[in-house]
Structure formats: structure tokens, C-alpha cells
Amino acid sequence: MNIGQAANQSGLPVKTLRYYEEIGLVQPARSSGNDYRDYSSTDVEHLRFLQRARAVGFGLHVCRELLELYRDENRRCSQVKKLVLEKIDQVEAQLQELHALKSALTDMANGCAGDDSTDCTIIETLAQPKPSLMPFMLVESSS
């Protein structure tokens, strides 16, 4: 099948299929004579697998590993579980960062009168060289 049909069946944009081919995640056959991509049902199955792996948050590097494990009949479930547990750890760290960010934003909002005054504690906080409410590291400009 051509790239448009494969995109339609996999639920991915044509541009994504081209990118996945460029980085070696999928390698569709090429038609003789016109050099068009010729996607097999297995290629589409792999594209769907990649789409689902991306949908649950795996980066392309891990998707490559997962796809290799998917293709490997001798894979060990422990290898796959290790990748999932690592992703869970990343999600937990992101959640902690988001909670800290929410807390900082809540503190800023609570400290603001929200009236028609020209003095705004939120602006003052953000204007500080190193705001004490910020739960993250600011990148200093080199200029």
C-alpha cells in the first residue's frame, strides 16, 4: 500500500511516516521502477504500535527499543517492564515538578489583591532576580 493508505490505516500523518522512515523506525519496501514506498500490513502494524507507544508518552529512543522488543520473539518481559517502570519514574518526577509549579502560582495568586491598583505583587515577584517562590532553576542570560 502507498504512504497515504498506510497513514490512514495507522492513524499517523504522512509526515510522521516519512520521519519514522528517515530515522530508521520503519523501512517500507520500494516499488521497482518508480521507487514509491510500499507499506506492508506488518509495517502498518509497527506504525500502530509506535503510535500507541507515543500516545502513552514514550520518547522515540524508547519507542525504538520497544519496537525492537516487539519484533524479537525471544524478548523477555522483564526488559519491557523495566522501560515502563523507568517511564513511571519520569512521570512521577514531572508530577512533583508540576505540583511545585502549581504551589508557586497559587502563592502568587493568593498574594495579589487583584484590584485596580497599579502595584502588582505578581509582577514584582516575577521581576525579582531570583524569585523565592519559583520552584525551578532560571537560566541566566549570558548577555
Residues in CB range of 133: below 8 A, 6 or more apart: 104, 107, 108, 125
CA–CA separation, 50 and 10 (whole Å): 9
Taking the model in full, what pTM does it have?
0.77
Tell me what the pLDDT averaged over the chain comes to. 90
Residue 66 pLDDT more than 90?
yes
Asked if 7 and 17 touch (Cβ cutoff 8 Å), the reply is: yes
Averaged pLDDT, 72-88: 97
Give tens-digit pLDDT for 41-57: 999 999 999 999 999 99
CA–CA separation, 76 and 82 (whole Å): 10
DSSP 115: S
Strand partners, 29: 38
Give tens-digit pLDDT for 15-40: 999 999 999 999 999 887 788 899 99
Residues in CB range of 119: below 8 A, 6 or more apart: none
Closest to 57 (Cα-Cα) out of 86, 78, 24, 15 = 86
Check residue 117 and give its pLDDT.
Answer: 87
Check residue 134 and give its pLDDT.
Answer: 62
Check residue 78 and give its pLDDT.
Answer: 97
Contacts by residues 13-18 (CB-CB < 8 Å, ≥ 24 positions apart): 17/47
Check residue 130 and give its pLDDT.
Answer: 72
Residues in CB range of 98: below 8 A, 6 or more apart: none
Check residue 132 and give its pLDDT.
Answer: 64
